A = this chain, B = another copy of it.
Amino acid sequence: MTNEFNTLKLVQLGIDTQKEFVVFMRRDCHICKSEGFEAHNRVLVTVKEKSIIATLYIITDGILKVGKAGLSNSAWIQLNAVEGDKISFAHVQPVASMGCVRSKMYGQELNKIAFQNIINDIVKGEYSNIEIASFITACAGDNLNIQEIIALTEAMVDSGQKLNWINKIVVDKHCVGGLPGNRTTPIIVAIVAEAGLTIPKTSSRAITSPAGTADTLETMTSVNLDIQTIKKVVEKENGCFVWGGSIKLSPADDILIRIERALDIDGEGQMIASVLSKKSAAGSTHVVIDIPIGKTAKVRTEEDAEKLKYYFTVVGKALSLEVKVLLTDGSQPIGRGIGPALEAMDVLSVLRNEKEAPQDLRNKSLLIAGSIIDLANNQKNGNGYLSAERILSSGRAYEKFMAICKAQGGFKEPVLGPFKTDIHAEKSGIVVEIDNRRLAKIAKLAGAPHDPKAGVLLHTPLKTRITKGDILFCIYAETKGELNYAIEYLKKEQDIILIQ
């Protein structure tokens, strides 16, 4: 029921607020006044019979003319808005399922229906960010029992699409709290697929790091596949490497994870639900979970890791997933390149069995691939590692990798940016410390991951003996300006590679 009286006309403002829907109105707008709207209110907005709930921000200056309203980019897309469209407004009732969140605050156990209602409302965009934060907090700590974690996981699986496979056994892997440059996935997929197992792998892009697995793979093949293409690739080659964002598995997870990250909360229950819901929706049956333990890793003690291991196993079983948990060394980064193309080169170097290939990356890939093979064969300590080693050394993993790339649209050799500078040692000695955080920052200043050819190549791992003037690392960039940003930053910084 819209009429001139309670509508405004839309103008495009181009404001990115991530997944949160935001509507912008003028302070002196008659609708704001009559409805008593104020900044941060939740408002039901309707454009051409499509409605969403959005958070209201008030414009007090000249950005909006009288009679106009704006939307955040996500809301604009969601409503298929066109410049000049009429937009109408109404108050919203509080979301009904927030009642369940309130019950949880009072310590009540939630059942499956409660979690389904909450998750469905979150996926529909009916929760504001602060309501999501409230839900996450109410479920954090030890507040979810194992039945509730199972119910939450199932609700998250049900909220999106699910993949089905002909093969009875479908394998997958996941690493809890990734280390820099830890690009085992392409190698593992190639080995495991060559071993005859089905592994339809989805990966994420970088959010704050210089490269995600999907960014790395994209320098060699296309990762943006729809479900039909994924099916074809996997039917032909047993495996694939795809950007998870191109298909909608467990969409609630993407929304929750963003707020969890902002809150720096990583409740066990939600982490397990997050990981296993993606795996279950992807149609996996056997999953290896890698938990690196280390002081800069996500899991810091063996005790915490054992508890997580227990939860992963029990919740996995409830979802008909066979889960095997590996506790690994998380004290050092893995590989030498930082940035999509450079990390891809590390991967190819291992697959091609080159002499200078980073051995840490090779060993870890074999360990996980071997575990997957054993798990699928229902063997506790089988010969999975040996099989994996044989497949990799023989070059068959490399051939499989190339075949998958071909099926996904073709392989291309990763290329580095044309602008390069070498950073030399100012004294002699031994490398005793490497500041990965600042190396990552240099890679980002040089353009990674947006410019996939940009990044940092580390020449001197820990314990390398250095002579003054040796190259410590190289910086690559796609433009001279970006290379300069990185160099300018570097001028102010010291001891990124500490030599003693």
On A, residues with C-beta under 8 Å from B are 5, 12-18, 20, 24, 27, 30, 33-36, 38-42, 57-63, 73, 94, 98, 101-102, 105-107, 128-134, 136-138, 140-143, 207-209, 258-259, 262-265, 267, 441, 444-445, 447, 450, 482, 485, 488-489
Task: Output the nearest chain B residue to A4 by Cβ-Cβ distance.
Answer: B488
Select which of B134, B142, B482 is within 8 A of A263 by beta carbon. B134
A408–B57 alpha-carbon span in the complex (Å): 35
Task: Output the nearest chain B residue to A73 by Cβ-Cβ distance.
Answer: B60
Instruction: Say whether A445 contacts B131, CB under 8 Å.
Output: no
A24–B24 alpha-carbon span in the complex (Å): 14
Distance of A59 from chain B, by nearest CB (Å):
6
Instruction: Give 5 CB contacts A-B under 8 Å.
Output: A13-B61, A15-B57, A16-B59, A41-B262, A106-B141
Instruction: Say whether A263 contacts B131, CB under 8 Å.
Output: yes
Instruction: Say whether B62 contacts A14, CB under 8 Å.
Output: yes
Distance of A134 from chain B, by nearest CB (Å):
4
Instruction: Say whether B57 contacts A16, CB under 8 Å.
Output: yes
A488–B6 alpha-carbon span in the complex (Å): 11
Known: A130-B262, A262-B40. A63 touches B14 (CB 8 A): yes
Distance of A240 from chain B, by nearest CB (Å):
27
**How many monomers of this chain does the complex have?**
2
Select which of B18, B41, B130 is within 8 A of A40 by beta carbon. B18
Q: Which chain B residues lie closer than 8 Å to A102 at the CB level?
A: 140-141, 265
Instruction: Say whether B15 contacts A445, CB under 8 Å.
Output: no
Q: Which chain B residues lie closer than 8 Å to A259 at the CB level?
A: 130
New A-B contacts (6) at CB < 8 Å, excluding given A34-B444, A94-B264, A106-B141: A13-B61, A17-B40, A40-B262, A105-B265, A129-B129, A129-B130
Q: Which chain B residues lie closer than 8 Å to A17 at the CB level?
A: 39-40, 57-58
Between A13, A42, A62, the greatest number of chain B beta carbons within 10 A of the residue's beta carbon is seen for: A13
A488–B59 alpha-carbon span in the complex (Å): 26
Distance of A210 from chain B, by nearest CB (Å):
8
Task: Output the nearest chain B residue to A93 by Cβ-Cβ distance.
Answer: B264
A120–B42 alpha-carbon span in the complex (Å): 28
Instruction: Say whether A134 contacts B131, CB under 8 Å.
Output: no
Select which of B18, B24, B38, B138 is within 8 A of A18 by beta carbon. B38
Select which of B36, B62, B137 is within 8 A of A134 by beta carbon. B137
